[in-house]
Structure 1
Amino acid sequence: MTDALSDTTPAATDPLDVDAASSLARDVVENVQRVIVGKDDEIEHLVTAILGRGHVLLEDVPGVGKTMLARSIARTVGGEFRRIQFTPDLLPADVTGTTVFDEQSHEFEFRPGPVFANFVLGDEINRASPKTQSALLEAMEEAQVTVDGETHRLPDPFVVVATQNAVENDGAFELPAAEVDRFAKRLTLGYPSPAEEQQVLERVVGGHPVDAVEPVTTIDALRRARATAAAATVSAPVRRYVTELANFTREHAELGVSPRGSIALVRAAQGRATLDGRDYVTPDDVQVEAEPVLAHRVRVESGTPLGGDAGRRLVQRALSTVDPET
């Protein structure tokens, strides 16, 4: 049984023309750049992931701007933003919501959890137990949650941006492969350069710039831009190129890229094409998007973590070995 909430049920969306969608994406990038210094590539990668209907995992050391990046994107598009602080005592119902008995109406009523938002920040997602982490699996894959046998649609768009602390493992749980695979991209921000850090300090004097961010578009326009990206032409040679990159990882790793990863790469490349003002995908789009989309899905040797430097090196080998013209 499906409870299709009136304000969250997906509907047919008319795409923007390519120029309008590209302009929207560029406006979002430039607005976020007013808050996040020196991370232009990472901001573009986040925007192309959103255009490609994907979720993003930010993994890095504390204090480099992961949360600010997520908040800036949400404020820029005017979407509803919710933050979930993942802790060991967090329960699945704290994420998805729960059914309670209303004593006045004498009926059971579903009370949505914080996952019911356009942009959900899962802060330090690996601090929660695997059971609680699994509460996001259905949401990230199908844009819905099922509670007590009732299925509830999530808002459209629905984007999860999750963060992981890359330096502390005590009290943390490794994300299962099924969950990692649901993130279209894994990004790192890294430390700013000295000049960039001086700009950061200058901007935060008197208040944080994220508090002054104003929307430059609307959720409806973003939804239409995503439809534009989804309509970008992906030719047979480009599809073959994506498939051969994925097969290379399967042949040279203990766990290679899944078909879901290949789909994520195509969608991210469509997002890149839209950002660049084109209605077709090129091999260059695939190459730009390949590492953040594919590397975190690869386990090079049995017993080693997913992704990491080994995963990135394998994807780089695939890009240097597989000929996009064949």
Structure 2
Amino acid sequence: MPLAPENATWFAETFARLTDNIGQAVLGKAPTVRLALTCLLAEGHLLLEDAPGTGKTALARALAATVQGSHSRIQFTPDLLPSDITGVTMFDQQRGLWEFHRGPIFASIVLADEINRASPKTQSALLEIMGESQVTVDGTRYDASRPFMVIATQNPIEQAGTYRLPEAQLDRFLMKTSLGYPEHAAAVQVLAGSSRPDRTKALAPIIATKAVADMADLVNDNHVDDAVLDYIQRLVESTREHPDALLGVSTRGAIAMVRAARVWAAAQGRNYVLPDDVKDLADPVWTHRIVMSPDAEFHGANSASVLARALADVAAPMVRGRA
């Protein structure tokens, strides 16, 4: 059943309340907060590439507190094991039973801090749960909570002792963005509250965890016109055909755009998606999925230039709204 206009209005009002609440802890970063919320409601995962001390942990905690969900933080290090993330099955001698002890991945919002510092084997422990919302340990499947979101961070400056994320894992992140340092006025507010640096402790939940899942289900019915779907596919094909790109946007990336655009449109009170929604989300949803050829990288080209070329070359359709 298509999303009704009144439901789209309610969605937009709730989205704004959630954004404002998170904004009390993450000052001056409303655009990034909106992207993080869009990611959560599209049931995707977020990669933050940022310098230390920019509020990445605060964003994860504020998001969890706002939706009344659980939060965990995993510090990725070279000696971290996959079982440190997923959990381990142990034998209870008193009861004579094998018992599964859940790892920190079983939370609503999971912060994977400095994910690129762990070995590829440990990073791969996230692949199944990010792609299928489940973990298999010793042949037994355990479902993730709903909502479930991984917010992973990596430092763009320090590369010594790190492992580059493989393309298969990058493709599982719905979006990649950054928080950056706050503007002057917001920074002054942060300094004024330095006696109580963790503002997330004062946040009250806006909605229950189940309501987040209901919002995600509701927005799945937001209308995407065939012309918009065709536009998305033509953009994807354009990135694949660019001479500087070794790999363009994948089919998973195209699906991710449709999911994100549905949320983005509903957050603005619309029960239909416009080509402008695709343009707004193109950079955070697609840039990290484009793999450049070594020769193009050597000459200074990057994935952003490939995407910009696609947006310039592919004409956007004219789409009418829905009642």
In the superposition, the TM-score normalised over structure 2's length comes to 0.92
- For residues 24 and 309 of structure 1, the distance between their equivalents in structure 2, rounded to whole angstroms, comes to 40
Aligned with residue 290 of structure 1, among 282, 285, 292: 282
Are residue 174 (structure 1) and residue 164 (structure 2) matched? Answer: yes
Q: Which residue of 1 aligns with 2:142?
A: 152
- For residues 218 and 122 of structure 1, the distance between their equivalents in structure 2, rounded to whole angstroms, comes to 24
Secondary structure of the residue that 1:234 maps to in structure 2? coil
Q: Which residue of 2 aligns with 1:90?
A: 80
Are residue 131 (structure 1) and residue 128 (structure 2) matched? Answer: no
CA contact (8 A) 1:18 1:228 kept: no
Output the aligned Cα RMSD: 1.9
Q: Which residue of 2 aligns with 1:317?
A: 309
Secondary structure of the residue that 1:120 maps to in structure 2? strand
Counterpart residue type for residue 325 of structure 1: P
Counterpart residue type for residue 33 of structure 1: G
Aligned with residue 235 of structure 2, among 226, 245, 268: 245
- For residues 111 and 287 of structure 2, the distance between their equivalents in structure 1, rounded to whole angstroms, comes to 22
Q: Which residue of 2 aligns with 1:46?
A: 36
Q: 1:16-56: CA deviations, max 9, x gaps?
A: 93232222211110111111122111111111111111100
Q: 1:155-183: CA deviations, max 9, x gaps?
A: 11111011111110111110111100000
Gaps of at least 5 residues in structure 1 are 1-13
Q: Which residue of 1 aligns with 2:201?
A: 211
Q: Which residue of 1 aligns with 2:154?
A: 164
Distance 1:309 1:27, change over 3 A: farther
Q: 1:295-323: CA deviations, max 9, x gaps?
A: 00111213788xx9811222122112211
- For residues 303 and 95 of structure 1, the distance between their equivalents in structure 2, rounded to whole angstroms, comes to 37
Distance 1:155 1:206, change over 3 A: closer
- For residues 208 and 269 of structure 2, the distance between their equivalents in structure 1, rounded to whole angstroms, comes to 19
- For residues 211 and 40 of structure 1, the distance between their equivalents in structure 2, rounded to whole angstroms, comes to 19
Q: Which residue of 1 aligns with 2:249?
A: 257
- For residues 30 and 203 of structure 1, the distance between their equivalents in structure 2, rounded to whole angstroms, comes to 18
Are residue 59 (structure 1) and residue 49 (structure 2) matched? Answer: yes
Aligned with residue 104 of structure 2, among 98, 110, 114: 114
Identity %: 44
Secondary structure of the residue that 1:160 maps to in structure 2? strand
CA contact (8 A) 1:229 1:273 kept: no
- For residues 99 and 68 of structure 2, the distance between their equivalents in structure 1, rounded to whole angstroms, comes to 29
In the superposition, the TM-score normalised over structure 1's length comes to 0.91
- For residues 47 and 53 of structure 2, the distance between their equivalents in structure 1, rounded to whole angstroms, comes to 16
Mapping for residues 61-80 of structure 1, pairs under 5 Å: 61-80=51-70
- For residues 93 and 304 of structure 2, the distance between their equivalents in structure 1, rounded to whole angstroms, comes to 55
- For residues 128 and 206 of structure 1, the distance between their equivalents in structure 2, rounded to whole angstroms, comes to 32
Secondary structure of the residue that 1:108 maps to in structure 2? strand
- For residues 20 and 222 of structure 1, the distance between their equivalents in structure 2, rounded to whole angstroms, comes to 13
Distance 1:185 1:214, change over 3 A: same
Q: 1:171-216: CA deviations, max 9, x gaps?
A: 1110111100000000112222223311221233444322211111
- For residues 32 and 296 of structure 2, the distance between their equivalents in structure 1, rounded to whole angstroms, comes to 26
Counterpart residue type for residue 304 of structure 2: R
- For residues 105 and 206 of structure 1, the distance between their equivalents in structure 2, rounded to whole angstroms, comes to 45
- For residues 126 and 296 of structure 2, the distance between their equivalents in structure 1, rounded to whole angstroms, comes to 24
- For residues 197 and 218 of structure 1, the distance between their equivalents in structure 2, rounded to whole angstroms, comes to 31
Counterpart residue type for residue 102 of structure 1: D
Gaps of at least 5 residues in structure 2 are 319-323
Aligned with residue 270 of structure 1, among 258, 262, 268: 262
CA contact (8 A) 2:112 2:151 kept: yes
CA contact (8 A) 1:245 1:322 kept: yes
CA contact (8 A) 2:232 2:254 kept: yes
Secondary structure of the residue that 2:302 maps to in structure 1? helix
